[in-house]
């Protein structure tokens, strides 16, 4: 996992647990065949792709609805 991408994504999603959940969910989607929403560079892992998508504003997290 690229430390710079993690730092950039943490500026967009400031709550660490929410960031972890967003990356995890997006990695599962990519594994299942979803196409990346950013240009993939050589040797990027799926977590790096998810972090880049978050950092570039391509992936957002919706607030949880009140129960």
pLDDT digits (tens, 9 = 90+) for 27-58: 999 999 999 999 998 889 999 999 999 999 99
What Cα–Cα distance (Å) separates residue 58 from each residue in 26, 36, 49, 66, 67? 12, 10, 11, 25, 28
Residue 67: the pLDDT is 65
- pTM for this structure? 0.89
Within a 10 A sphere around the Cβ of 17, how many other Cβ atoms? 8
Work out the angle at residue 2's Cα, subtended by the Cα atoms of residues 41 and 5, and round it to the nearest 5 degrees: 85
Helix, strand, coil percentages in the chain from 3-state DSSP, rounded to 5: 55, 0, 45
């Amino acid at each position: 996992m690229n430390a710079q991408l993690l730092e950039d994504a943490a500026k967009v999603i400031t709550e660490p647990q929410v960031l972890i959940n967003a990356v995890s969910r997006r990695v599962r989607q990519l594994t299942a065949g979803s196409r990346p929403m950013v240009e993939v560079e050589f040797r990027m892992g799926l977590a790096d792709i998810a972090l880049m998508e978050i950092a570039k504003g391509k992936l957002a997290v919706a607030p949880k609805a009140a129960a």
